[in-house]
Structure 1
Amino acid sequence: MSTLIRLPEGSVCWPATALSSAAADVRHAHTRVLRTPSAERSVGGTTRWERRYADVSAWLEWDWVEIDEGTVVQADPLNVRSNVLLLDDRGRPLLSSRRRTTLATLVYLLPWQGAVLDELRMVEPQRRAPAQAPLRLAA
């Protein structure tokens, strides 16, 4: 009896035990900044990190929000979108709950906040500029 797993095209398999080495090879691909229309200073977006192979790219993507100027956090640490199928020691896919926590750990190991803050500085330089003191006029 065959136990083949059919994966969506473009999926990549990683052994879960290779997590720490995968973190060293995953690179920032792009970050998208979105301003929330309801709040003038509310900023968030998505960031994507990739590990390229010869014919395919493994990617991880998640949402982030800025909670204070210069401080960004994941919007939902257990909601990491990815085309990666994580495998256990026996080569079987991890359960969904374990996959989510393992991908969350990988995100934790990445220096992603710096890349997001760099993008924020480029996209919104006027918001990031230091406030100038008001001019005083002589009476």
Structure 2
Amino acid sequence: MIPAWTVNAWPSALWQPGRDAPLHFVHLGTHVSTRLNKDWPSMGQTVWGGRAGDSAAGISWDWIEVSEGIIAIADPMMMITNLRLLGREGEVLTAHEVAPHLNGLVHRLPWQAEVSRALEQTQHTLPRPAVPFAGITSKSLSAGAGGWLT
């Protein structure tokens, strides 16, 4: 997967909402962070990309599973993107002016389904924790240890 934080290092892509063609993004990857404690929520990052005119454009953000099956943007003000949005007069918009546009873009993406799919795949591929002495029985001990239990 493309690391989420690298999207900011891509060459800038200019986009003027309402004037330029609408942006269409596709899922590039989702990372599920390792849970250090089973009581902590699942979390990670997701990356989406598309075109803004002739330039590659990307957006990524952190997500968190706030309850089983309920996935939310961890911080709607902390989207990582190489997009530079322009206002009506061609001026570069501030972070506060850009936030509603980026959140609207993300709202239209099927990102929660992609995160759910990544969570499901992660849960199916995690190794089962080893259970100490799970395969040991009194029969195997008596047979393999020179009969010390008998």
Q: TM-score, normalised by structure 1?
A: 0.73
Identity %: 29
How do 1:111-126 residues align onto structure 2 when only pairs under 5 Å count? 111-125=110-124
What secondary structure does 1:21 align onto? Answer: coil
> In structure 1, what is the equivalent of residue 59 of structure 2?
60
Moved more, 91-100 or 36-45: 36-45
Structure 2, unpaired ranges of 5+: 1-8, 127-150
SS class of match (1:58): strand
What residue ranges of structure 1 are gaps of 5+ in the alignment? 1-7, 128-139
Is the contact made by 1:35 and 1:42 (CA closer than 8 Å) also made in structure 2?
no
Q: Which residue of 2 aligns with 1:69?
A: 68
**Does residue 87 of structure 2 align to residue 88 of structure 1?**
yes
Amino acid paired to 1:60: I
Superimposed CA distance per residue, residues 51-99 of structure 1 (whole angstroms, 9 cap, x where no aligned partner): 0479742000000001122211010111111000001122211122111
Q: Is the 8 A contact 1:50 1:57 kept in 2?
A: yes
Q: 1:18 and 1:118 mapped to 2: Cα distance? A: 35
Is the CA contact 1:35–1:41 (under 8 Å) kept in the aligned structure 2? no
Going from structure 1 to structure 2, the CA distance change for 1:19 and 1:98 (only over 3 Å counts) comes to: farther
Structure 2 distance, partners of 1:78, 1:19, is 23
Matched length: 118
Quote how far apart the aligned CAs of 1:9 are: 6.0
- Could you say which structure has the larger radius of gyration? 2
CA contact (8 A) 2:13 2:52 kept: no
